[in-house]
Amino acid sequence: MKRIFALFAALLFTLSIQAQAQAPKPIRALMVCGGCCHDYEKQKIILSEGISKRAAVEWTIVHESAPKGTDERKHRVSIYEKPDWWKGYDIILHNECFGYIDDNAFIEGITAAHKAGVPAVFLHCSSHSYRMGTTDEWRKVIGITSRSHEKSRDLHVENIKPEHPVMKGFPAKWLDPKDELYKNEKVWPDAIPLAKAYGEDTKQDHVVIWVNTYEKARVFTTTLGHSNETMQAPEYLDLVTRGLLWACGKLTDDGKPAEGYGPAAK
């Protein structure tokens, strides 16, 4: 009888090991954050913890600030100086604000990750980062060119593609309090707008949520997210989580994490 129990226990252990080997591994995400004008110290926690409660994502976070007395907008994040800096990650989340860097070679060293096929998420001021460069590669990755925004105010966001997996279940319209509307200068050909908001300065709509394809990489971007209050909202964290999963090819058509990539899978 003892031998039977021992064999049974060994079988269960083997099956458990096999199940673990076959289970999908969590998404390995790199978050790069820092720069001027935003509370990145808190936002990196809000985003990493909020997304990981919704999906199987493990984080590496690079948060850098410029040396004291220098301009945050000109800081060059050190990881970007390394060759193949993106190796080992399944996706890069950009939440940075370095608008005054104009070194084209440095900028294209960042976009090389996405040219190589690594998916991306861009949040808020990332759209305005590296805008002084004459190369268009950063703007092509993101999918929309923007260099300015309106003053902080409540935004009324309209879901214009409710059938898209990222937008499934979101209301037709919702209020985004105390945020900034980024002005669209150009929508690049592969960008697919998902939501918009009205500009009081320009008297026209501007895309605020969209997806894009750059080379082989899927890209999700939202210009929403100036304040901690916006980022802490469950709707915002739901949105960014879906965008991240979509970019990784791990979002089902009904807007749910693919099997093995929900929060209980970790």
pLDDT tens for the 266 residues of the chain, in order: 555 555 555 444 444 444 444 578 999 999 999 999 999 999 999 999 999 999 999 999 999 989 888 999 999 999 999 999 999 999 999 999 999 999 999 999 999 999 999 999 999 999 999 999 999 999 999 999 999 999 999 999 999 999 999 999 899 999 999 999 999 999 999 999 999 999 999 999 999 999 999 999 999 999 999 999 999 999 999 999 999 999 999 999 999 999 999 986 54
Residue 219 lies in a domain: yes
Look at residue 65 in the predicted model and tell me its pLDDT. Answer: 87
| Beta carbons within 10 angstroms of residue 172's beta carbon | 9
C-alpha to C-alpha distances, 27 to 153, 253, 255, nearest whole angstrom = 35, 19, 17
DSSP bridge partners of 179: 153
- The values of phi and psi at residue 79, to 5°, are -60, -30
Distance, CA of 111 to CA of 180 (rounded, Å) = 25
Query: Residues 139, 142, 147, 148: what is their CA dihedral angle, to the nearest 10 degrees?
Result: 170
Helix (H) or strand (E) holding 122: strand 120-123
* Number of independent structural domains in the chain: 1
Look at residue 150 in the predicted model and tell me its pLDDT. Answer: 97
Residue 116 lies in a domain: yes
Residue 86 lies in a domain: yes
Distance, CA of 96 to CA of 61 (rounded, Å) = 12
Distance, CA of 89 to CA of 170 (rounded, Å) = 29
Residue 157 lies in a domain: no
Model confidence pTM above 0.85: yes
Determine the distance from the C-alpha atom of residue 2 to the mean position of all C-alpha atoms in its chain, rounded to a whole number: 54
Distance, CA of 261 to CA of 55 (rounded, Å) = 6
| Beta carbons within 10 angstroms of residue 161's beta carbon | 18
Look at residue 4 in the predicted model and tell me its pLDDT. Answer: 57
Domain that holds residue 135: 27-148+210-258
Closest CA to 223 of 156, 128, 114, 99: 128
Residue 214 lies in a domain: yes
- Give the CATH number, domain containing residue 82: 3.40.50.880
Helix (H, G, I), strand (E, B) or coil at 1: coil
Distance, CA of 186 to CA of 88 (rounded, Å) = 33
- The values of phi and psi at residue 116, to 5°, are -80, -5
Residue 14 lies in a domain: no
For residue 169, give both structure tokens. 């279940």
Closest CA to 219 of 127, 131, 82, 150: 127
Residue 171 lies in a domain: no
| Beta carbons within 10 angstroms of residue 44's beta carbon | 20
Look at residue 108 in the predicted model and tell me its pLDDT. Answer: 98
Helix (H, G, I), strand (E, B) or coil at 173: strand
Helix (H, G, I), strand (E, B) or coil at 235: helix
- Pairing type for strands 91-97 and 27-35 reads parallel
Residue 73 lies in a domain: yes
Look at residue 263 in the predicted model and tell me its pLDDT. Answer: 86
Distance, CA of 243 to CA of 76 (rounded, Å) = 26
Look at residue 264 in the predicted model and tell me its pLDDT. Answer: 66
